[in-house]
């Protein structure tokens, strides 16, 4: 969920820029390291980022009939880790603002925090945890993507509540209300995005698992076991 341009007043838009900056700067370092170690990283990250952008411009089939776009950054995080994902998210968010009028420039800080940091971190944590525990990857990915989506919207509600606290009940009341009102569209969207990303992962394992094996998301044996299970 993007906060639109002009919606966050001072000092909030500045605060979120300051809060997001360290993470993004770490992402720059991670990027530099990755590109230095592996010269193939740059073109592959570029196409992955372009994929995330295109994915986020697709309209998902929705139950409520409203316009719903996937965030895509959850998948990016599972593939490359949260730091690189935040750098990709920065580029994707700027392009979304300038090419699709989604989000804004003053709200970049806030949107990076919700969509480029919080979401990816949660997605990555769930994915790693699921792998350790040994849960089926497809199920893990579903939860990773869906929860990333939900966390993103929850953080956005948090950001709005901080900027616009209620007269009665202050921040909490505001947070609850924003949360409740956006839940109507965001919860179904999260489930649908989770489903879609899980299916995407499944199809990739079926069609070209070498990609995932190469990045290190999944091992050769695991891919084969999964495919046998579906055969």
Work out the angle at residue 110's Cα, subtended by the Cα atoms of residues 93 and 24, and round it to the nearest 5 degrees: 65
Q: Is 98 in the site for another protein (CB under 8 A)?
A: yes
Say if CB 146 and CB 190 are below 8 A apart: yes
Residue 224, both tokens: 């084969």
What CA–CA distance (Å, rounded) separates 150 from 188? 10
Instruction: Round to whole Å and give the CA distance between 228 and 133.
Output: 21
For residue 50, state whether it binds another protein (rule: CB under 8 A): yes
Contact region with another protein (CB under 8 A), list: 123-131, 134-142, 147-155, 160-168: 160-168
Do the Cβ atoms of 195 and 187 come closer than 8 Å? no
Q: 112: which DSSP letter?
A: I
Least separation in angstroms between CB 116 and another protein: 14
Looking at the Cβ atoms of 125 and 183, the one nearer to another protein is 183
Estimate to the nearest angstrom the gap between the alpha carbon of 214 and the chain centroid.
22
- The Cα–Cα gap between 172 and 176 comes to 6
Name the minimum Å distance from CB 132 to another protein: 25
Q: Is residue 149 within 8 Å of 196, Cβ to Cβ?
A: no
Q: Which residues in the 118-137 window bind another protein by CB under 8 A?
A: none
* CA nearest to 144, candidates 219, 201, 224: 201
Minimum distance of another protein from residue 133's CB (angstroms): 25
Instruction: Give the nearer residue to another protein in terms of CB position, either 25 or 129.
Output: 25
Q: Does 114 bind another protein (CB under 8 A)?
A: no
CB–CB of 204/227 below 8 Å?
no
Residue placing its CB nearer to another protein in the complex, 34 or 132: 34
The verdict on 104 binding another protein (CB under 8 A) reads yes
Residues 188-217 that bind another protein (CB under 8 A): 192, 195-197, 199-201, 203-204, 207-208, 211
Q: Is 6 in the site for another protein (CB under 8 A)?
A: yes
3 sits near another protein (criterion: CB under 8 A)? yes
**Which of 17, 19, 26, 91 is close enough to bind another protein by CB under 8 A?**
91
- The first and second tokens of residue 4, run together, are 């639109």
**Binding span for another protein by CB under 8 A among 56-64, 111-119, 130-138, 141-149:** 56-64
- What 3-state class would DSSP assign to 68? coil
> How many residues interact with another protein (rule CB under 8 A)?
74
Contact between 162 and another protein by CB under 8 A: the answer reads: no
């Amino acid at each position: 969920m993007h906060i639109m341009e002009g919606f966050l007043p001072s000092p909030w838009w500045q605060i979120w820029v300051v809060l997001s900056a360290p993470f993004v700067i770490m992402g720059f370092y991670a990027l530099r390291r990755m590109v230095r170690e592996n010269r193939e990283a740059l073109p592959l990250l570029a196409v992955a980022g372009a994929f995330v952008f295109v994915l986020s411009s697709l309209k998902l089939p929705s139950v409520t009939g409203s316009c719903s776009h996937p965030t895509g950054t959850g998948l990016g995080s599972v593939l490359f880790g949260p730091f690189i994902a935040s750098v990709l998210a920065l580029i994707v968010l700027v392009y979304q603002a300038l090419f699709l009028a989604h989000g804004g420039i003053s709200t970049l800080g806030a949107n990076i925090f919700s969509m480029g940091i919080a979401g990816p971190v949660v997605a990555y944590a769930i994915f790693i945890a699921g792998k350790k525990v040994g849960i089926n990857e497809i199920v893990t990915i579903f939860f990773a993507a869906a929860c990333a989506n939900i966390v993103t919207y929850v953080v956005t509600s948090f950001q709005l509540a901080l900027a616009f606290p209620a007269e009665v009940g202050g921040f909490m009341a505001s947070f609850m209300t924003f949360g409740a009102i956006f839940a109507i569209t965001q919860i179904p969207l999260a489930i649908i995005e989770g489903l879609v990303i899980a299916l995407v992962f499944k199809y990739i394992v079926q069609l070209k698992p070498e990609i995932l094996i190469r990045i290190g998301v999944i091992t050769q044996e695991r891919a084969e076991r999964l495919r046998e299970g579906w055969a």
